[in-house]
Amino acid sequence: MENTRWLLPCLLAVLVITSLMSISIGPLQISPSASVHAVINWATQMELGNVAAHEQLVIDNVRLPRTLLALAVGAVLAQCGAVMQGLFRNPLADPGIIGVSSGAALGAATCIVLFPQGGEYAVATSAFVAGLLTTLIVYRLASSPTGTSVVLLLLSGVAVAALAGAGIGLLTYMADDMALRDLTLWQLGSIAGAQWHYVVLTLAALALVSWHFNRYAKALNALLLGEAEARHLGLDVDKLKLKLIVLCAIGVGISVAATGIIGFIGLVVPHLVRMLIGPDHKQLLPLSAILGAVLLALADIGARAIVAPSELPVGLVTALLGAPFFIALLLKQRTRLV
């Protein structure tokens, strides 16, 4: 609790600074003061500051939606990762473990290759629907009359992800040059195409999952003791699993539909926060949301700055940052097991 007192204000301060950097940095450099005035102008629909018309236009239509989308997606992925790690009682778990990312990728690939005239809305819708359906299939495979096994859930997720990967491989083989490029860029993840409707949808998903996850924080704490102990405490464990998995599927599915596949945020962030404040989900979930938002926004800034004036897909940057951490975590887990 003591760590939370200083960690929360520090993270909030970093969040504000990162957001301002994200709005200011790009091919067109905008001063921090002009960025602040432009955001105030956008929020109040007034002209209160001395901001050039072209700078206001860039912030209104490019920088601000991009920044808000990065913050919202990062917060959703981090919270879903924290929930998955609590549900599986394993720090190596992430949202993709239930098949939602692989299912969404298959849905998007199907639309990009077979229905190229559908446009970006069709791709996003296909990704979300396929991700949600895949998650429900994984859950159904892991369910039995005696309950839902976490081990079976994990194995079902691996099997369905492999099947989805085969489908994506087949579609990649069938794709023409344009579809292949679109499919590759989508799988790498990017926030470059941020639009206001995606921002609104992702913020709505963030509000939904945050509210529900906070309600189930005590139940997640009870699950850390083990499923048998949680049942003795009066929890309907199977019902809780289904609710949490569906909520994660909705949150991750909408995020993936808006930005493509962005890995490692849901794996790295909850573990970092847990190292600082412990496993209490009442604190872990909101702090993970803030840190996830900060890290994805920083990764997006890096994606713009590393090869400026061009930019990298943000999924590459998160992979470059997250993979070494994941390897270190694996080595730590190995030493515990040995």
Q: How confident is the model at residue 92 (pLDDT cuts 50, 70, 90)?
A: confident
Task: Enter the DSSP assignment of 118.
Answer: G
Look at residue 334 in the predicted model and tell me its pLDDT. Answer: 65
Q: Does the structure show a pLDDT above 90 at 100?
A: no
What DSSP element (H or E) covers 147? strand 147-148
pLDDT in tens, 166-183: 998 999 888 888 888 888
Could you give the CA distance from residue 277 to residue 274 in angstroms, rounded to a whole number?
5
pLDDT in tens, 26-42: 888 888 888 988 898 88
Look at residue 217 in the predicted model and tell me its pLDDT. Answer: 93
Look at residue 212 in the predicted model and tell me its pLDDT. Answer: 95
Q: Does the structure show a pLDDT above 70 at 157?
A: yes
Q: Which residue type, as a one-letter code, is found at position 203?
A: L
Look at residue 139 in the predicted model and tell me its pLDDT. Answer: 82
On the question of a cis peptide bond just before residue 309, with omega within 30 degrees of 0, the verdict is: yes
Residues 79-97 as b/e (b if ≥16 CB within 10 A, e otherwise) read bbbbbbbbbbeebebbbbb
Q: Where are the alpha helices (DSSP H) in 143-176?
A: 150-174
Q: Does the structure show a pLDDT above 80 at 144?
A: no
Mean pLDDT of the chain: 86
CA–CA–CA angle 269, 274, 279 (5° rounding): 130
Look at residue 3 in the predicted model and tell me its pLDDT. Answer: 58
pTM over the 0.85 mark: yes
Look at the block and give the residue holding tokens 């490029």: 181
| 324 CA to centre of own chain | 19
3-class DSSP assignment, residue 164: helix
pLDDT in tens, 268-304: 899 889 888 888 999 999 999 999 999 999 999 999 8
